[in-house]
């Protein structure tokens, strides 16, 4: 018994659509990506991280949220703690809609290393900074305009305000 039978003209398209979806870098959540689909960590390190259940940039961000986690992970994946902090900051930028791995690398190279640094920017100078940095490292094809950078800055500011901090019990 057939539950669904596509019209005869579409039968050959179904495998093509599936193949196209599988081949695309897959965002996981709010701009987070499978580590294996982007070029921020060497392949052998990605394999080791995957065994440790760190498969996405969001997983990596979570695994590097504090110095204790960074030091433990550094030993397991044979990377320096400073390198992992840099990766955490790059993953931090991926929380912003419209910032993917390439834009995050350009921002990082420009000195805008994380959400807090992004939140301190102004839109026009940031667009110019990205343009100037990209001239040197040539990662981006399309450059963001000031309206786009304004949106990124607003998102960074909103995310930083929304971050829930642990409540410290008062001493009475």
Domain locations along the chain: 27-95, 97-162
**What integer pLDDT is reported at residue 39 of this predicted model?**
87
- Largest Cα–Cα distance of the chain, in whole Å? 75
Tokens of 15: 């495998």
pLDDT at position 32, please?
A: 80
Which mean pLDDT values do the consecutive 10-residue runs of the chain (172 residues) have? 52 46 41 88 94 95 95 96 96 94 96 97 98 97 97 96 56 47
Angstrom distances, CA of residue 75 to CA of 36, 45, 61 = 21, 12, 17
Q: In CATH, which of 1.10.1660, 3.30.70, 1.10.150, 2.60.200 is domain 97-162?
A: 1.10.150
pLDDT score for 104: 96
What pLDDT sits at residue 6?
A: 52
- Position 17 scores a pLDDT of 42
**pLDDT score of 25:** 42
């Amino acid at each position: 018994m057939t539950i669904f039978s596509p019209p005869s003209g579409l039968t050959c398209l179904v495998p093509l659509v599936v193949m196209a979806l599988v081949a695309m870098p897959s965002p996981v959540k709010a701009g987070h990506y499978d580590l294996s689909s982007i070029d921020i960590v060497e392949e052998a390190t990605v394999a080791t991280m995957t065994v440790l259940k760190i498969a996405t940039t969001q997983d990596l961000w979570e695994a590097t949220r504090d110095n204790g986690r960074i030091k433990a992970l550094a030993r397991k994946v044979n990377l320096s703690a400073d390198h992992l902090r840099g990766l955490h900051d790059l993953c931090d930028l991926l929380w912003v809609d419209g910032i993917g791995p390439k834009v995050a690398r350009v921002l990082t190279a420009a000195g805008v290393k994380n959400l807090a640094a992004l939140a301190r920017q102004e839109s026009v100078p940031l667009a110019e900074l990205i343009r100037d940095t990209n001239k040197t490292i040539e990662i981006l094809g399309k450059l963001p305009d000031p309206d786009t950078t304004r949106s990124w800055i607003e998102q960074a500011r909103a995310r930083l305000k929304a971050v829930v901090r642990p409540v410290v019990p008062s001493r009475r």
